[in-house]
Chain A
Amino acid sequence: MAGKTLYDKLWDNHLVRIDDDGTALLYIDRHLVHEVTSPQAFEGLRDAGRKPWRVDSIVATPDHNVPTTDRKAGITDPVARLQVETLDQNCVDFGLTEFTIDDIRQGIVHVIGPEQGATLPGMTVVCGDSHTSTHGAFGALAFGIGTSEVEHVIATQCLVQKKSKNMLVSVDGEVGEGVTAKDIVLRIIGEIGTAGGTGYAIEFAGTAIQALSIEGRMTVCNMAIEAGARAGMVAVDDTTIEYVQGRPYAPNKAQWDDAVEQWSDLHSDDDAEFDSVIRIDAASIQPQVTWGTSPEMVVAVDATVPDPANEADEVKREGMQRALDYMGLTANTPIEEVQVDKVFIGSCTNSRIEDLRAAADVAKGRQVADNIKLALVVPGSGLVKQQAEAEGLDKIFTEAGFEWREPGCSMCLAMNADRLEEGERCASTSNRNFEGRQGRGGRTHLVGPAMAAAAAVAGHFVDVRTMKQAG
């Protein structure tokens, strides 16, 4: 019998029961809750007179709707304010742990979970947010759910699931200098397509993935959903364990050795079989820039905007043309000639300390170009912000002409005041370039943090590797 994949092990370890037709009840260890996808779930619980099954499994924080400007004034948008207040009240009423808007630990759920050690190897982690796949970086089974399932997990600690298929994406060899986790994952999505991972749990492996920091692995797993896979994951190794040790929710000293021993099994067996295997040569990956309205519409920075005329498939060709029209781009234009209006550095994909360091490295001693209307840096959490300020990164950004903001989801989805106006073009470190995602008529190009900072400085896309380090 073949060995087990990492996903098989995580699945088996959480199986409460399974019916003959494969319908399973899966136990959930950690539930992260935010203001946007939870109010209707709490209302449902109240209406049915139900209580949370296990309050200590839940960590809540407001992130999607919070302003990133000075918070002393509170939230001025009354609709957004009501939603955040509703979360606060629900957490009080049901006895849940919440990092409220004025708590230093507040931030994007997918940043604060790992930061607090609330995300641990071997866990099942869910949240009413598709980018929950982020937490798979810890050798956890983590996936996004809808509001009905949020209610279901709170009430029962379980989810009704069917097992996904196994996909291995192996990135072998070493990436070149200046090529980041974001470039790796964008390239993967470009390769397998935005629905290529539908129905699968993806394990990211290979030397180039192993060489990534835990934050880099989070960036990769974060975007598994942009390839259609609800869950992405990476095997546990020393990098994982070193990151977890000493965090507030991590196992205590007495439990630590047991935990590490259990976690050491969280990898696919050598003889495990995958339903699909994709191999990518790490050395072939260049810094990536998306050109269209789906994350799969991506090219290397030294390439040109693709020409629909070269696409044989009719539905695809029409989709490409529609994307070019929306993006205001002409086929065959070099990517480096595309000018941008705004720059956004942040989101659950790229708002951690290493992301901010990489961007600051480029911004240091330079100035944001005159044609840039706004260059925003939004740290992923209060603690990331504090760390960045301790390192002087905020000064580097503000001296270069970037705005330094309070933590939250911000312009990744533009639920708050941070957004694009009609026709504006943005270099963004976020995860979705869908039509209207960052504001109606806004045009999003996804890039890594250093590439975004480089675009801010140059006023157009530029290969960050060609920029010499400023004094």
Chain B
Amino acid sequence: MDAFTNLTGIVMPLDRANVDTDAIIPKQFLKSIKRSGFGVNLFDDWRYLDTGEPGMDNSGRPINEDFVLNKPRYQGAQILLARKNFGCGSSREHAPWALLDYGFRVVIAPSYADIFFNNCFKNGILPIILDEAMIDQLFKEVDANEGYELNVDLEAQTVTTPSGEVIGFDVDEFRKHCLLNGLDDIGLTLQHTDDIHAYEEKRRQNAPWLFR
């Protein structure tokens, strides 16, 4: 996993609540056995006018010009501004893989679905929670200013607007540590092998039917 420390990037607004992971990456692309290559199919149903299939040449497909991802002013965006309950539904990690593969490293929303939120941290994406009023303000600022960029500093836990307004955010200490250093947690968990063995031995004695 790539570390995340500090980023200044263009913000793309996605102004709808309850965006589900089926919308982020439709099911037909989940047949892949790889982790990469999902970016061209991010928001596929909304982004193209035809039905996408895996292995298709996406370059010639008809584009939905009205969808925000296709607007010239948001090309190269690395920060996704979203509404509440972002990433609800399916547990598919293909959703953060698609966001990352497209180029997004930060999502800012008032709330997230639990599984998606968790999956982001496993893939070097920082999901930031800000209150609804602040989210409303950011939507207005993005809309009014072409090329609108935010600076996101994970160490300092701040989002800074172009006018210099500094907005603090909370992040779990353990997750922050892993993200700042690009650490995968399997290695960290395996440092506690003795604890796991000790628990397991007790479990085996108390509930032997779980072990076959």
Chain A residues with CB under 8 Å of chain B are 15-17, 19, 21, 23, 25, 27, 29-30, 36-37, 39-40, 43, 48, 50, 53-54, 56-57, 64-65, 77, 79-80, 82-83, 86, 120, 122-123, 128-130, 144-149, 151-152, 155-158, 160, 162, 194-195, 198-199, 225, 228, 230, 249-252, 255, 259, 262, 294, 315-316, 318-319, 322, 413-415, 432, 434-437, 440
Residues of the B chain whose Cβ atoms lie less than 8 Å from the Cβ of A17: 192, 195
**B73 an interface residue at 8 Å Cβ cutoff?**
no
B residues 164-212 near A (Cβ < 8 Å) are 172-174, 184-186, 188-190, 192, 195-196, 199-200, 203, 206-212
Q: A50-B186, A130-B115, A437-B22 are in contact. Are A160 and B90 (CB under 8 A)?
A: no
Q: What is the CB-to-nearest-CB distance from B126 to chain A, in angstroms, rounded to a whole number? A: 16
Residues of the A chain whose Cβ atoms lie less than 8 Å from the Cβ of B118: 146, 149
User: Are A83 and B31 in contact (CB-based, < 8 A)?
Assistant: yes
User: Are B186 and A151 in contact (CB-based, < 8 A)?
Assistant: yes
User: Interface code B30-50, partner A: CB below 8 Å = 1, 0 otherwise?
Assistant: 111111000000000100000
Residues of the A chain whose Cβ atoms lie less than 8 Å from the Cβ of B85: 194-195, 198, 228
In the complex, given contacts A56-B212, A225-B89, A440-B45, what are 14 additional A-B residue pairs having Cβ atoms less than 8 angstroms apart?
A15-B199, A21-B173, A25-B192, A39-B33, A54-B200, A77-B31, A144-B91, A145-B91, A151-B186, A152-B186, A259-B207, A322-B16, A415-B30, A437-B22
B residues 6-42 near A (Cβ < 8 Å) are 16-18, 20, 22-23, 26-28, 30-35
Please measure, in the bound complex, the distance between the C-alpha atom of A120 and the C-alpha atom of B207, giving whole angstroms.
11
User: Interface code B85-114, partner A: CB below 8 Å = 1, 0 otherwise?
Assistant: 100111111001000000000000001111
User: Are B189 and A130 in contact (CB-based, < 8 A)?
Assistant: no
User: Are A145 and B115 in contact (CB-based, < 8 A)?
Assistant: yes
Tally of contacts, chain A with chain B, CB under 8 A? 182
| Partner of B196 from A48, A65, A158 at Cβ < 8 Å | A158
Chain B residues with CB under 8 Å of chain A are 16-18, 20, 22-23, 26-28, 30-35, 45, 51, 54-55, 83-85, 88-93, 96, 111-115, 118-119, 122-123, 172-174, 184-186, 188-190, 192, 195-196, 199-200, 203, 206-212
User: Are A432 and B89 in contact (CB-based, < 8 A)?
Assistant: yes
Q: A80-B31, A230-B114, A440-B45 are in contact. Are A434 and B20 (CB under 8 A)?
A: yes
Smallest Cβ-Cβ distance to A150: which chain B residue: B93
Please measure, in the bound complex, the distance between the C-alpha atom of A53 and the C-alpha atom of B203, giving whole angstroms.
15
| Partner of B91 from A57, A123, A130, A413 at Cβ < 8 Å | A130
User: Are B22 and A155 in contact (CB-based, < 8 A)?
Assistant: no
Please measure, in the bound complex, the distance between the C-alpha atom of A156 and the C-alpha atom of B187, giving whole angstroms.
9
Q: A251-B209, A415-B27 are in contact. Are A83 and B190 (CB under 8 A)?
A: no
User: Are A199 and B89 in contact (CB-based, < 8 A)?
Assistant: no
Please measure, in the bound complex, the distance between the C-alpha atom of A249 and the C-alpha atom of B207, giving whole angstroms.
13
Smallest Cβ-Cβ distance to B122: which chain A residue: A148
User: Are B186 and A155 in contact (CB-based, < 8 A)?
Assistant: yes
User: Are A434 and B196 in contact (CB-based, < 8 A)?
Assistant: no
Smallest Cβ-Cβ distance to A81: which chain B residue: B31
| Partner of A195 from B84, B90, B91, B190 at Cβ < 8 Å | B84
Q: What is the CB-to-nearest-CB distance from A346 to chain B, in angstroms, rounded to a whole number? A: 16
Closest 9 CB pairs of A and B: A251-B209, A148-B122, A146-B93, A39-B33, A146-B119, A144-B91, A195-B85, A130-B91, A147-B93
Q: What is the CB-to-nearest-CB distance from A465 to chain B, in angstroms, rounded to a whole number? A: 31
Residues of the A chain whose Cβ atoms lie less than 8 Å from the Cβ of B45: 435-436, 440
Q: What is the CB-to-nearest-CB distance from B180 to chain A, in angstroms, rounded to a whole number? A: 16
Please measure, in the bound complex, the distance between the C-alpha atom of A249 and the C-alpha atom of B173, giving whole angstroms.
40
Please measure, in the bound complex, the distance between the C-alpha atom of A36 and the C-alpha atom of B23, giving whole angstroms.
17
| Partner of B30 from A36, A162, A249 at Cβ < 8 Å | A36
Q: List 6 interface pairs A-B (beta carbons < 8 Å), by A numbering.
A: A27-B203, A82-B33, A86-B33, A145-B91, A155-B189, A228-B85
User: Are B199 and A415 in contact (CB-based, < 8 A)?
Assistant: no
Smallest Cβ-Cβ distance to A64: which chain B residue: B30
Q: What is the CB-to-nearest-CB distance from A275 to chain B, in angstroms, rounded to a whole number? A: 15
| Partner of A16 from B17, B93, B196 at Cβ < 8 Å | B196
| Partner of A435 from B23, B115, B123, B210 at Cβ < 8 Å | B23
Please measure, in the bound complex, the distance between the C-alpha atom of A150 and the C-alpha atom of B163, giving whole angstroms.
43
Q: What is the CB-to-nearest-CB distance from A243 to chain B, in angstroms, rounded to a whole number? A: 16
User: Are B189 and A160 in contact (CB-based, < 8 A)?
Assistant: yes
Smallest Cβ-Cβ distance to A87: which chain B residue: B33
Please measure, in the bound complex, the distance between the C-alpha atom of A155 and the C-alpha atom of B184, giving whole angstroms.
12
Residues of the B chain whose Cβ atoms lie less than 8 Å from the Cβ of A413: 22, 27, 90
Smallest Cβ-Cβ distance to A415: which chain B residue: B27
Please measure, in the bound complex, the distance between the C-alpha atom of A123 and the C-alpha atom of B203, giving whole angstroms.
11
| Partner of A294 from B18, B32, B112, B119 at Cβ < 8 Å | B18
Residues of the B chain whose Cβ atoms lie less than 8 Å from the Cβ of A144: 91, 115
Residues of the A chain whose Cβ atoms lie less than 8 Å from the Cβ of B27: 413-415, 437
User: Are B190 and A156 in contact (CB-based, < 8 A)?
Assistant: yes
User: Are A195 and B51 in contact (CB-based, < 8 A)?
Assistant: no
Residues of the B chain whose Cβ atoms lie less than 8 Å from the Cβ of A129: 90-91
Residues of the B chain whose Cβ atoms lie less than 8 Å from the Cβ of A158: 189, 196
Interface centre among B33, B85, B88 (most CB of A within 10 A): B33
User: Are A228 and B115 in contact (CB-based, < 8 A)?
Assistant: no
User: Are B90 and A130 in contact (CB-based, < 8 A)?
Assistant: yes
Residues of the B chain whose Cβ atoms lie less than 8 Å from the Cβ of A27: 196, 199-200, 203
User: Are B114 and A56 in contact (CB-based, < 8 A)?
Assistant: no
Please measure, in the bound complex, the distance between the C-alpha atom of A322 and the C-alpha atom of B16, giving whole angstroms.
10
Q: What is the CB-to-nearest-CB distance from B150 to chain A, in angstroms, rounded to a whole number? A: 22
User: Are B16 and A319 in contact (CB-based, < 8 A)?
Assistant: yes
| Partner of A79 from B35, B54, B208 at Cβ < 8 Å | B54
Q: A157-B200, A198-B85 are in contact. Are A37 and B93 (CB under 8 A)?
A: yes
Residues of the B chain whose Cβ atoms lie less than 8 Å from the Cβ of A259: 207, 209
Q: What is the CB-to-nearest-CB distance from A321 to chain B, in angstroms, rounded to a whole number? A: 11
User: Are A37 and B92 in contact (CB-based, < 8 A)?
Assistant: yes
Please measure, in the bound complex, the distance between the C-alpha atom of A39 and the C-alpha atom of B200, giving whole angstroms.
27
